[in-house]
Amino acid sequence: MNPFSMLKDMAGMKEQLEKAQAQMQEITATGSSGGNMVQLTINGKFEIVDIHLDPICVDNRDVPMLQDLIKAAHHDAMYKIQEALKSQLGPMLGGMNFPGL
pLDDT at position 97 is 56
More confidently predicted of 95 and 101: 95
What is the rounded CA–CA span in Å between residue 23 and residue 33?
A: 27
Looking at 17-26, 27-36, 37-46, 71-80, which range is the least confident one? Answer: 17-26
pLDDT, position 1: 62
Tell me 27's DSSP state: -
56, 36 contact by CB (below 8 A): no
- Whether this model's pTM surpasses 0.85: no
Mean pLDDT value across residues 9-36: 82
What is the per-residue pLDDT for 94?
60
Question: Per-residue confidence at 30, pLDDT binned at 50, 70, 90?
Answer: very high
What CA–CA distance (Å, rounded) separates 54 from 56? 5
